Chain A
Amino acid sequence: MNERPNQFDDRGLKDAIRQAWPAGGASEMTRARIAKLLKSELESTEAALGATPNLPGQRSVVRWLAVAASVLIGLGVAGWVGYQAYEAYEYREYVAVNMDRFTQLVRLQIDGMPAEAEASADPAAAARQLQRRVASIPPEAGWAMQEVSIVPFFGDRLVAVRYSNSGSVATVFSIPASVFIDVHDGFAYTVTASTGVLTGSIDNDTAFCIAGSREADRTLIETLARQLRIEVPPAPAPE
């Protein structure tokens, strides 16, 4: 009994079993039945897979994701609309409370500097200072500086630099922001007053704006403002 199980390789026994054991496989009837079974079951399995794009759990997840996305989009749109409405309301309020100041600036453009205005002792130095503050200054677009005035304005003083360009005249104002009511850095505006137009913004506690004598000067004035890197609002806010 020294034979080890893992050395089992009795070729004689294998041959004998093969010879003795009934050799038959499946009958033709069995083969036909199983072939039919395979065909029908595989077809129905494939059809079920094709007809069911998602498992119930997957459908549930997809549905909840869609709901969550819809809610987020709805909240985003509502927030954006609300913010825009608030911005428009705030803009109208700022413009309304400061309209007398805007009107006064346009009047300075149209009527010229008042008698109490001081001519700058050194217009070139004043222009350079303005240039430093607004980062750019004509005449690169054909504008030529005519005069620089220092004008009393609502308890403070502004600097007015008058430019001309092919018959058009515009005045650039530099005004302490504290002159205006309830405004803040970044507030940009374009208003029409006394037949003229005024556009500008507040930056670094200083209001920079440009006035034209006619509403028709609007495009020209806004172009000049952009050349001066003064922020211009994209369009008048809706009422």
Chain B
Amino acid sequence: MALTAEQFSELALRELDAVSRLARALCRNTAEAEDLIQDTFLKAIRSRNTFTLTEVGMRPWLLRILRNTWINRANRSKLEPDLLQPDLLEQLPEVSADLAFEDWRASDTRLVQAIEGLPEALRTTILLWAIEDLSYKDIADVTSVPIGTVMSRLHRARRMLADRLGELASEHGIDRPASME
């Protein structure tokens, strides 16, 4: 379906919040995130003829542009230390800790810290899944990996978060939740 300039603009602006959230999750500071957002929309406008509107709207397409832009920048500047290659990511050691639903709720700040400490690919995958509520297929589309890799990354991110939350609790002198004992 071909969109008019007005329709394209309206649909793109509708996804600005999602684009901003992911930009902030990827960037080190607000200025860098703002710059990334602007670049994302500029690239989207210039390649709008390649966009095909589907039932999921424009969100996966815009987020893919954003992430690719961010990766290209990181590759150029080498400023992003946790940008791991996919094969290296799969070699991360398994962790064994686990948390139940109640434990997750009790650890808001620590949870945010734990997510921010995840490698980019896992962090992006879990935020797209949890915050943006994208399907596995759309996450695969945004991150340019197969659906199986998306599921694997979600599984790995969950385990790393559980492990990291346990470490953070110890660092702050907080006992691990009872359900983990």
Q: Please give the distance in Å from A210's CB to the nearest CB on chain B.
A: 73
Interface string of A1-29 (1 = CB under 8 A from B): 10101101011111111111110111000
Cβ of B156: which chain A residues have Cβ within 8 Å of it? 5
Q: Report the separation of the CA atoms of residues A20 and B12 in the bound assembly, to the nearest whole angstrom.
A: 26
Q: Hey, which chain B residues are within 8 Å of A46, CB to CB? A: 5
Binds B, one of A35-43, A112-120, A139-147: A35-43
Q: Decide yes or no: A34 and B112 within 8 Å by CB, A11-B101, A13-B130, A21-B127 being known contacts.
A: no
User: Are A38's CB and B45's CB within 8 A?
Assistant: yes
Which residues in A have their C-beta under 8 angstroms from that of B109? 20
Q: Cα distance A6–B146 when bound, in Å? A: 12
- Contacts of A26 on B, CB cut-off 8 Å? 16-17, 19-20, 37
Contact of A34 among B16, B105, B131 (CB under 8 A): B16
- Near A by CB (< 8 A), chain B positions 108-132 give 108-109, 111-112, 115, 126-127, 129-131
- Asked if A168 CB lies within 8 Å of chain B CBs, one says no
Closest to A35 in B: B13
B34 contacts A by Cβ under 8 Å: yes
List residues of chain B with CB within 8 A of the CB of A21. Answer: 112, 115, 127, 130-131
Residues of B close to A63: CB separation below 8 A: none
Q: Which residue of B lies closest to A6 (CB)?
A: B151
B13 with A37: CB separation less than 8 A: no
Known: A34-B13, A38-B9. A20 touches B112 (CB 8 A): yes
Q: Does B41 contact A (CB under 8 A)?
A: yes
**Cα–Cα distance between A10 and B102 once the two chains are bound (Å):** 12
Interface residues of A in 29-66 (CB under 8 A from B): 30-31, 33-35, 37-39, 41-43, 45-46
B1-53 residues at the A interface, CB under 8 angstroms: 5, 8-9, 12-13, 16-21, 24, 34, 37-38, 41-42, 45-46
**Nearest CB in chain A: distance from B114 CB, A:** 9
In the assembled complex, the Cα of A24 lies from the Cα of B8 at a distance in Å of 24
Nearest chain-B residue to A27 (Cβ)? B20
Task: Give the nearest-CB partner of B96 in chain A.
Answer: A1
Is B108 a contact of A5 with CB atoms below 8 Å? no
The 9 A-B residue pairs with the shortest CB-CB distance, nearest first, are: A25-B17, A12-B101, A16-B104, A20-B108, A17-B130, A5-B155, A26-B20, A42-B5, A38-B9
Which residues of A does B touch, CB under 8 Å? 1, 3, 5-6, 8, 10-22, 24-26, 30-31, 33-35, 37-39, 41-43, 45-46
Known: A5-B151, A16-B101, A16-B107. 17 other contacts (CB 8 A): A5-B148, A6-B151, A12-B101, A14-B129, A15-B101, A15-B104, A17-B127, A20-B107, A21-B112, A21-B130, A21-B131, A24-B20, A34-B41, A38-B45, A42-B9, A45-B5, A45-B45
